[in-house]
Structure 1
Amino acid sequence: MKYITQGSESLDRYQLLISLTRISSEDVKAALKDYLVTGLADTTAAAINGVQLSNFTRALNTLNTVASTIEQIKELDWARLKSVK
């Protein structure tokens, strides 16, 4: 399941997601930002930042995995809060 999509992330959320990964390439980070925050197409974001599409896709999958974990934590917290009431 996709938890992050093209042009749907705020800059703050994007920066927090990146901080939870080991992605270190500034070019890859810029391409991801252009895709997730600005809304450029994946191929365009990768190309203008000089990133191979395969590396971009790998980094995007990493971010999606982090976002998935965050959503699972939120679901657990929500379920716990509902059971307390």
Structure 2
Amino acid sequence: MTLKKHTDNARAFTFRHEFETVDHANVTSTAILGYMVGTYEQPTIDITISKNEANNAYTMLIDYVSDSNLSEPFNRVCDSFEGYSKGCSEA
């Protein structure tokens, strides 16, 4: 497997997603970090999780550098953990 390299045309992007629990946000951010490490030779990514008091949710904000917008794969990762917080609360 060959890891991708950034070209000279790489740009900065921001991705945002809301979660019900901080655990859900942390698990998903770890999965996204894994995606980036497994995809890029030198991933450039910064993830911040903060509490949004207005709607009692947690916001994951991802700043990253890529040649293309990665919202689609990031949304797929987020969607794959959709039932995470529900499954944890039922245990």
Fold conserved between structures, TM > 0.5? no
Which of 1 and 2 has higher RCO (CA within 8 Å, sep 6+)? 2
Under a length normalisation based on structure 1, what TM-score does the superposition of the two structures give? 0.39
Structure (1 or 2) with the greater helix fraction: 1
